[in-house]
Structure 1
Amino acid sequence: MNVTWSWQRAADCLPVLLEGFKITLLATVLGFLIAAALGLAIAIVRRAGPRVVTVPVRMISEFIRLTPLVVQLLFAYYLLPQFSALQIGITVLGIHYSTYMAEVYRAGIDGVPKGQWEAAHALSLPMARTWRAVILPQAIRSTTPALGNYAISMFKDTPFLFAITVVEMVTAAQQYGARTFQYLEPITIAGVIFLVASYPTSILIRKVEKSLAY
């Protein structure tokens, strides 16, 4: 294996990595949408649901959050062979991260001043409208930076999809290296792409966090 950098090899492997990047990006975006919606649902259920519902939801959430993502991917992959590996990967990523986002949402909901609840009650607002028009806008506003950080974490966790045969960017780099016996360029470029894609997002999150602080 040649450990000397070659720009020609870098150019040759770039199209392969970009194809893998499309899968990485797709898994991140769809997984985040699932996680954000399901996490919000979990937080609302745990805050406002009856105990007979909240207790099982809390236990399931804790189980998912405290078990490795790779184990969950493999379990779903072998349990649900009728679905594609990518479908399973996106769904498991979303469910896994929804349990973390639910805690963020719950902290945001708990951070809404008690007076807001009392004012909505005094105005005889229906509970659904109280949540939709009063509580959730404030809670989601305060949790936006944390949700953005989880989006970046999910993006960096997509290489775990290799466990269920999804060819995302890192797996594409490894496969290219296995075919050519040249790993330096594909692995390095994959790392650079992760950095280039993540860094602007992290800067945006910091700006949002600062703007929300005022």
Structure 2
Amino acid sequence: MMYGFHWDLSNPLAFAWSILPIILIGLTVTVEATILGFIVSLIIGLALALLRRTHTRWVAWPTAVVIEFIRDTPLIVQLFFLYYVLPQFGILLPAFLTGALALGIQYSAYMSEVYRAGLDAVPHGQLEAATALNLSRTRMYVSIIIPQAIPRILPAMGNYLVSMIKDTPVLSVVTVLEMLGLARIIGDRTFRYLVPLTLVGAIFLILSMTASAGVRRLERALPKSGILLR
């Protein structure tokens, strides 16, 4: 028994049905961690991309080093650092928040490159026109450049969203009980791993396919020329 649920070990289908409520608890954690991590990656990734595009070398070069460092170090190392090292400096975060931040920071490096490619793909004439209109750099990016870059970078963002969903099981190493972590516990207590792991794999497949379909639908809905802001 776990979380007040009784397991039926009589046959595989009954066993799967009896553990489904527990797995759905883990699914909630998985979805919440993915959403929070994705939002963090979008915000930090955009900031890193804009800093790297600046013409000030003492800003652009350190930003490039930070991006490479984040991208070239494993997620689990960054997760352990946030969870075990930061408390030594008085920064103590809940396990779930730590895991979501680790996901967001890891993928912010990838998102920054996606943003940079999308921003570079906007015709240079748009920058010249904004400069001729005497628009501020902030207004130029917010109203002209970024809205035109969004349709170009949406497919790559969707790929990283799916990858982030599949990376959430790493959070179990810092006691965040997502789907795979709960499935492993069920297997340890019942000595039956096939059903819980298969069930979790099927849910991950459905979740990833749903996210991919949503991104494709959004991609078709957005105009290829970009979002028009007034």
Name the structure 2 match of 1:83: 93
Q: Report the CA distance shift for 1:8/1:42 in structure 2 as closer, same or farther (over 3 A).
A: same
1:33 to 33, 36, 39: 39
What's the CA shift for 1:112? Answer: 0.7
TM-score by length of 1: 0.93
2:63 to 38, 53, 57: 57
1:21 aligns with 2:21: no
In 2: Cα distance, 1:33 partner to 1:86 partner: 15
Q: Give the conservation status (yes or no) of the 8 Å contact 2:184–2:193.
A: yes
Name the structure 2 match of 1:180: 190
Partner SS state of residue 167, structure 2: helix
Name the structure 2 match of 1:169: 179
In 2: Cα distance, 1:196 partner to 1:48 partner: 41
Larger mean CA deviation between 104-113 and 175-184 belongs to: 175-184
List gaps (5 residues or longer) in structure 1.
none
In 2: Cα distance, 1:213 partner to 1:5 partner: 52
What's the CA shift for 1:141? Answer: 2.4
What's the CA shift for 1:201? Answer: 2.0
Partner SS state of residue 80, structure 1: helix
The aligned runs of 1:1-214 (5 Å cut-off) are 6-48=12-54, 50-81=56-87, 82-209=92-219
In 2: Cα distance, 1:7 partner to 1:172 partner: 18
What's the CA shift for 1:205? Answer: 2.8
Q: Which amino acid aligns with 2:96?
A: L
Q: CA RMSD in A?
A: 1.9
In 1: Cα distance, 2:55 partner to 2:41 partner: 20
What's the CA shift for 1:72? Answer: 1.1
> Which fold has the larger relative contact order, with Cα–Cα distance below 8 Å and residues 6 or more apart in sequence?
1
In 2: Cα distance, 1:38 partner to 1:83 partner: 19
In 1: Cα distance, 2:29 partner to 2:131 partner: 47
Q: Which amino acid aligns with 1:75?
A: F
In 2: Cα distance, 1:101 partner to 1:16 partner: 33
**Structure with the higher fraction of residues in helix conformation:** 1
List gaps (5 residues or longer) in structure 2.
1-9, 226-230
TM-score by length of 2: 0.87
Q: How many residues align?
A: 212
In 1: Cα distance, 2:212 partner to 2:27 partner: 19
Q: Give the conservation status (yes or no) of the 8 Å contact 1:20–1:169.
A: yes
What's the CA shift for 1:74? Answer: 1.2
Name the structure 1 match of 2:228: none
Q: Give the conservation status (yes or no) of the 8 Å contact 2:151–2:224.
A: no
Q: Report the CA distance shift for 1:49/1:172 in structure 2 as closer, same or farther (over 3 A).
A: farther
What's the CA shift for 1:14? Answer: 0.7
Q: Which amino acid aligns with 1:107?
A: A
Runs of 4+ residues deviating >4 angstroms: 207-214
Partner SS state of residue 195, structure 1: helix
Q: Give the conservation status (yes or no) of the 8 Å contact 1:145–1:208.
A: no
